């Protein structure tokens, strides 16, 4: 499958998103509301998704679209089977964005037959971007990506998002047990944890309670960098409501700890 044209297009979508999100970042008049699920949404989230949806409708009219903010309006969260679908999180890390913390990004994925084959993660406030297409490797602005060679869980670095999130999902004990077994833990959070796994500077990243748009763009990047990406229970792909990314070498050991304590 030749994805070069789609990857170029996805990076141009990221350029469009960056221009909008950076202009509104730390704006004094940033408009913030709460959605039905009590999560925040800003006018920047909505503007980015609207711009990308309009470009996709004009330039990829036969492709389906799944976006976080559109889903909030329609209630549809399913990933389509049997054709091409773009999956977009306009601003991953909205809580950071609205507080002026620069750790946030636009996530853009292309899924074919329900499988993410292309991903772009663009974090303009950090000056970073990562991308990958199936069979073509993973890259950042600094060059090719490769996961670490850490093979022993006792030597591994773990990043998670929120202790409260794990507690709410009845997975706090597995997280605590896992943290005792690894060398180091940090809560870098959101997309950044997974991109650092792909860069080889972290070995494990995981979160419960996620939506497809939180995960889809991350999968090709981690996998093309040589890592593994499953749910916390070890199910492959991004559609199971949680995420676990590792360098591959410690993946089974991490899943074993999580399953034993769950």
Alpha carbons within 13 angstroms on the beta-carbon side of residue 74 total 10
Domain boundaries, the chain: 4-144, 153-261
pLDDT score at 82: 56
DSSP for 8-44, written as a single string:
HHHHHHHHHHHHHHHHHTT-TT--EEE-TTS-EEEHH
Q: How far apart are the first and last CA of the chain?
A: 39
d(CA 181, CA 152): 10
Mention every residue, 6+ apart, whose C-beta is less than 8 A from residue 233. 240, 242, 255, 258, 259, 262
pLDDT score at 73: 47
pLDDT score at 74: 42
CA-to-CA dists, residue 212 to 1, 18, 41, 151, 249, angstroms: 23, 21, 17, 29, 25
pLDDT score at 36: 77
Query: pLDDT tens digits, residue range 75-90?
Result: 445 555 558 999 999 9
User: Which residue, among 246, 209, 250, 204, has the nearest Cα to 225 in the 3D structure?
Assistant: 246
Asked whether the beta carbons of 161 and 209 are under 8 A apart, the reply is no
- E strand or H helix at 204, and its extent? strand 204-207
Would you give the DSSP letter of residue 188?
-
Six token digits for residue 140? 């950042």
The number of angstroms, rounded, from the C-alpha of 261 to the middle of its chain's C-alpha atoms is 25
Going residue by residue through the chain (262 aa), what tens digit of pLDDT does each one get?
A: 899 999 999 999 999 999 999 999 999 999 999 877 778 999 999 999 999 999 999 999 999 999 988 764 444 455 555 589 999 999 999 999 999 999 999 999 999 999 999 999 999 999 999 999 999 999 999 999 999 999 999 999 999 988 998 999 999 999 999 999 999 999 998 899 999 999 999 999 999 999 999 999 999 999 999 999 999 999 987 789 999 999 999 999 999 999 876 5
User: Which residue, among 241, 227, 107, has the nearest Cα to 156 in the 3D structure?
Assistant: 227
d(CA 227, CA 219): 9
pLDDT score at 9: 99
Q: Which residues of 119-155 are buried (b: 16+ CB within 10 A; e: fewer)?
A: bbbbbbbeebbbbbbbebebbbeeeebbbbebeebee
CATH topology of domain 153-261: D-Maltodextrin-Binding Protein; domain 2 (3.40.190)
- What superfamily in CATH does domain 4-144 come from? Fructose-1,6-Bisphosphatase, subunit A, domain 1 (3.30.540.10)
3-state secondary structure at position 213: helix
């Amino acid at each position: 499958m030749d994805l070069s044209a789609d990857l170029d297009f996805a990076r141009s979508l990221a350029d469009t998103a960056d221009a909008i999100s950076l202009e509104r970042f730390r704006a004094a008049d940033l408009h913030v509301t709460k959605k039905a699920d009590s999560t925040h949404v800003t006018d920047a989230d909505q503007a980015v998704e609207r711009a990308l949806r309009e470009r996709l409708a004009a330039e990829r009219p036969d492709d389906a679209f799944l976006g976080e903010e559109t889903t909030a309006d329609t209630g549809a969260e399913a990933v389509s089977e049997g054709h091409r679908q773009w999956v977009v999180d306009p601003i991953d890390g909205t809580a950071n964005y609205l507080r002026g913390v620069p750790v946030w990004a636009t996530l853009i994925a292309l899924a074919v037959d329900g499988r993410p084959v292309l991903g772009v993660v663009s974090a303009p406030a950090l000056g970073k971007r990562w991308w990958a297409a199936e069979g073509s490797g993973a890259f950042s602005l600094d060059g090719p990506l490769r996961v670490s060679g850490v093979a022993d869980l006792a030597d591994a670095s773990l990043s998670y998002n929120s202790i409260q999130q794990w507690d709410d999902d009845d997975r706090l004990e597995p997280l605590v047990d896992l943290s005792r077994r690894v060398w180091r833990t940090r809560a870098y959070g959101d997309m950044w944890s997974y991109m650092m796994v792909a860069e080889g500077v972290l070995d494990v990243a995981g979160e419960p309670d996620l939506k497809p748009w939180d995960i889809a763009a991350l999968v090709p990047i981690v996998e093309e960098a040589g890592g593994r990406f499953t749910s916390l229970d070890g199910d492959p792909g991004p559609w199971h409501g949680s995420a676990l990314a590792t360098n591959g070498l410690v993946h089974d050991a991490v899943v074993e700890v999580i399953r034993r304590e769950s």
